Copies of this chain bind each other. A is one copy, B any other.
């Protein structure tokens, strides 16, 4: 019931670090341990955290461990990509956000945008954007894939057909040298094609690691992409293809000042 700034912040820290310690929080906020304990108890009572001796930990669940790991990789690059992508999205837009940790990063950067309509087949995107009261959210239906929070199945396509997007932001598992976009799930083929058809502009977000991997299913091509946000200079071959196809490549540098994650 009691709501304070602190509790929000504590939750935020917990989300970032996975846990919090009373002692640290006392230093951080300059209040007594008593007060911190009270906060933690309340957060635990309302189900956000789980109390442990000396502090509290995030209530495990919701997303599985492998995913959390993956989410951590290339975080700075993803944030930079998401930043560049989100500033290119105007208020009032109608968007599609697809599956993938990078599109989720984009969602997080859209929390300040206004009057958005976002359609997604990614439950994490919905959870993130729920925090933006100015954003209407439409979820496609489907089976929940724990691996990445994706909603898969034929339903997604039928939902997509009901919209016309200003921008569709998609990710992919890998990018081949010849500009093909690859994924692990063949069900995604239909979804991708549908998205590209229903969107006035298709934007791809993918960090450099996607060039170093491969995946079995072709879901599309860079040819279909209008803008490509990535984190490192493109391979020469791909760059040439982008020029030929009129795909704008936006190469962002994970910015330096994000490195000041001192011993907090």
Contact = CB atoms under 8 A, between A and B. Distances in A.
23 contacts: A5-B52, A5-B57, A8-B18, A8-B61, A11-B61, A46-B68, A48-B133, A60-B131, A61-B128, A62-B130, A62-B131, A63-B130, A127-B127, A136-B143, A138-B141, A138-B142, A139-B139, A139-B141, A139-B142, A141-B151, A141-B159, A155-B159, A158-B158
Contacts of A262: none
A88 interface: no
A126 interface: yes
A38 to B, nearest CB: 13
A197 interface: no
Chain A at the B interface: mostly helix, strand, loop or mixed?
mixed
Interface residues of A, number: 57
B155 A4 contact: no
Residue with the greatest number of chain B CB neighbours at <10 A, chosen from A65, A123, A127, A141: A141
Interface in A149-191: 151, 153, 155-156, 158-159
A203 B19 CA distance: 32
A60 B11 CA distance: 11
A3 B53 contact: yes
Interface of A: 1-5, 8, 11, 15, 18-19, 21, 46-48, 50-55, 57-65, 68-69, 71-72, 112, 123, 126-128, 130-131, 133, 136-144, 146, 151, 153, 155-156, 158-159
B138 A144 contact: yes
B137 A144 contact: yes
A65 B3 contact: yes
